[in-house]
Amino acid sequence: MDLRKEPELTSKDVTPKAVYLNRRKFLKAASLASAAAFAGGGLWELAEPSARAHAGTKLNAALKSPFSTTEKQNTYDDVTHYNNYYEFGVDKTEPAKNAGRLKIYPWSVSVEGEVQKPRKISIDEILKLAPLEERIYRHRCVEAWSIVVPWIGYSFSELIKAVQPTPKAKYVAFESFYDPEEMPLAKYAGIDFPYVEGLRLDEAMNPLTLLCVGMYGETLPNQDGAPVRMVIPWKYGFKSAKSLVKIRFTKDEPPTTWNRLAPNEYGFYANVNPHVDHPRWSQARERRLGEFFKRDTLMFNGYSDQVASLYTGMDLKKYY
């Protein structure tokens, strides 16, 4: 699939049904969009606050994104019952069984570090920060399996623009929620918590980097990173931190959980690369979840046109 070619969309595809049936509200929202403040608006109201406390709440007004792949999507059951979320168990079937104890509302994310406008942003404000899009991304896990998921969110660059990084900011660090009382199985995971990840600032600014609040037309299930997570489709899955509570802009490369634990196996960049094997298995082939036969792994997971320029001149075997 050539991601540079925009899909042929009709007005029916672009305009959500709920918005079409309420034209006046939509037009009013559109006229206010350019003037909306970081904390204000309510232009894309998604659900009543009491409903946001539960995963599976329907998300309205998610526009179709031209960044989407046309590949066959995995089923909702596939994506919600085969997860890496070690805070809720190391077996891939355990998070779906155990993540229900996670309290996802109220929720806030602290944005701090090298920014001109540090603040704590609530999940309600995150939902209103920018128009939501549905983006169907392919994903590649470091264990050599892959999935295709219709995520809902918007480019992380929207948040970056809102907090205004200082000239010293070169990286963005992410921290996931951790509470041993809500996550008692984490003590058996063999890794340090809270889970931390990071990107270079230019990677974080790339339009593909998604601040994600939903999937399959609904809010995120707990086991998939509710209520807000990162989705970075050209990198191995462990880079996409779940259940965010802190975003910090830094001048130095931040530590990341798996790189700190096993730097010979998990690099800071973690770009999908069929030519750089994991020390314990090949990365040249992958198996799509739900399929029997393997397929070739694509460089940058098939997103080379959008991201290869970020790594011009870099030795990708050294900076893996």
Q: Give residue for tokens 């929202």.
A: 29
Please report which confidence band the pLDDT of residue 61 belongs to, taking 50, 70 and 90 as the band edges: low
**Closest CA relative to residue 287, chosen from 80, 149, 130, 143:** 143
**19 has a pLDDT exceeding 90:** no
E strand or H helix at 122: strand 119-122
**167 has a pLDDT exceeding 60:** yes
Cβ atoms of residues 270 and 236 within 8 Å = yes
Kindly give the pairing relationship between strand 133-140 and strand 63-64.
Answer: parallel
The pLDDT tens digits of the residues spanning 280-300 come to: 999 999 999 999 999 999 999
Please report which confidence band the pLDDT of residue 304 belongs to, taking 50, 70 and 90 as the band edges: very high
At 54, list the tokens.
């539960």
Burial class (CB within 10 angstroms; exposed 0-12, middle 13-18, buried 19+) of 313: exposed
Cβ atoms of residues 220 and 227 within 8 Å = yes
| CA 250 to chain CA centroid, nearest Å | 20
The pLDDT of residue 36: 37
Q: What is the DSSP string of 168-195?
A: T--EEEEEE---TTT-GGGGGS-S-SS-
| CA 101 to chain CA centroid, nearest Å | 22
**112 has a pLDDT exceeding 90:** yes
Q: Domains in the chain and their CATH numbers?
A: 11-311 (3.90.420.10)
24-38, 167-181, 207-221: least confident range: 24-38
At 135, list the tokens.
């983006």
Kindly give the pairing relationship between strand 244-250 and strand 171-176.
Answer: antiparallel
The pLDDT of residue 94: 98
**6 has a pLDDT exceeding 50:** no
User: In 10 A of CB 242, how many CB atoms?
Assistant: 26
What percent of the chain is modeled with pLDDT above 90? 80
The pLDDT of residue 73: 97
pTM metric for this prediction: 0.84
The pLDDT of residue 76: 97
Mean pLDDT of 243-272: 98
The pLDDT of residue 55: 67
Query: Cα(188)–Cα(87) distance, rounded to whole angstroms?
Result: 9
